[in-house]
Structure 1
Amino acid sequence: MKHKIIIAITGASGSIYAKGILDKLAANPDQYNAVGIVMSKNAQDVWETEIGDKSYAQYPFTFYGKQDFYAPFASGSAQYNTMIVVPCSMGTMGRIAAGISDDLITRAADVILKERRKLILVARETPYNLIQIKNMETITLAGGIICPATPSFYSKPSTIAEVAATVVDRVLDLAGIKIDTYRWGK
């Protein structure tokens, strides 16, 4: 089955993770029917600071405004089956955990959870406070997946991009996208 994927990019640090996911999705168009992107203004500013350009606008995906409640994935009837919030700010996570659907990102997450589909939040904060941990618990109990942007090192990454790819590849694995990546024991 091909995926219909929502990518939400919030203003947390970690644009390298969002860029990596968009790059790998663009390189594997045979694995999805649609990719819709919602990107906050803060996310654009952080991308421009961390990546150094506005390349987010050059991807072959459909972009939706944060207040565009006419986007297809604002309703379960559009049958988007996966949502990745990358990086996921703690504010966005808190609104999702509380069921506050005040923009397209939180509405889409609410729809994904109510339809029992796959929600993956790439949390980007450290350390966590108790409120954040309880929000993670709430989302997990509701069926979401919390995937902190915690890189692994057993593949012996040697560049920042390779370190970030350990997180990107894990997220894409969770989403069911088949990619060529390091596998333990091979």
Structure 2
Amino acid sequence: MADTKKRLVIAMTGATGAIYGIRMLEILRERPEWETHLVISSAGLVNLKYELDMDRAALYALADVTHGINDIASSIASGSFKTEGVVIAPCSMKTLAAVAHGFGDNLISRAADVALKERRKTVLVPRETPLNLAHIRNMAAVTEMGGIIFPPMPAFYNKSDSLRAMVDEGVGRILDMFGVDTAGLYKPWTGLEG
């Protein structure tokens, strides 16, 4: 890939909502100015198969570069490897805790740790409800470090009539944070008309 491409790390864990990571990869695949770096946990692969009937090969085909979950010598494990940041979608509570406490115990939490220390955008898309106090405290810790907690809550003012439209709205809003052209993906709020 050319050095002029913008790089974005997409990480997927075993939380429900694999479609969020998949849609980001699909959208960025259509944007030649972007290069995606994918890492997925073993639980994420199980969930991918269960929720979307998708295997590792089909997932990897959507990414420009793939990394093994335990490859801590990977390019995305270093701050000297320039990226626009990291999105963990979906983000399990285990991964949230690892990021909040700087564990760096696998490539997902290490890539997030690198993005945070380099002051790059770090977006976690947690998929858990209800939340217990540990979850809330971990979200606060990540926020205090500069990370963004983005639970994928649909905006009902769009009157979306499909799950796909609701997913695209969340994905569009996340990708907007990184400057990705998301025109046509969702309708932003412009105020009441009339």
CA offsets per residue over residues 108-138 of structure 1, 9 Å max, x none? 1111111111000011111111111010110
Contact 2:124/2:150 (8 A) holds in 1: yes
Structure 1 segments unaligned to the other structure (5+ residues): none
Aligned-partner SS, 2:36: strand
Give the aligned partner of residue 150 of structure 2: 147
Give the aligned partner of residue 122 of structure 2: 119
Q: Are 1:157 and 2:163 counterparts? A: no
The Cα shift of 1:60 comes to 4.0
* Distance across 1 between alignment mates of 2:117 and 2:106: 16
* Distance across 1 between alignment mates of 2:31 and 2:159: 25
Identity of aligned residues (%): 38
Contact 2:18/2:51 (8 A) holds in 1: yes
Contact 2:84/2:178 (8 A) holds in 1: no
Contact 1:90/1:125 (8 A) holds in 2: yes
The counterpart of 1:130, out of the listed 104, 129, 133, is: 133
RMSD of equivalent CA atoms: 1.4
* Distance across 1 between alignment mates of 2:63 and 2:177: 22
Aligned residues: 184
The Cα shift of 1:45 comes to 1.1
The Cα shift of 1:139 comes to 0.4
Change in Cα spacing, 1:2 to 1:154, as seen in structure 2 (3 Å) is farther
* Distance across 2 between alignment mates of 1:53 and 1:104: 22
Q: Are 1:10 and 2:13 counterparts? A: yes
The Cα shift of 1:150 comes to 1.1
Give the aligned partner of residue 42 of structure 1: 43
Give the aligned partner of residue 25 of structure 1: 28
Give the aligned partner of residue 53 of structure 2: 52
Contact 2:84/2:120 (8 A) holds in 1: yes
Structure 2 segments unaligned to the other structure (5+ residues): none
Give the aligned partner of residue 75 of structure 1: 78
The Cα shift of 1:37 comes to 0.5
Runs of 4+ in 1 over 6 A off after TM superposition: none
Q: TM-score, normalised by structure 1?
A: 0.94
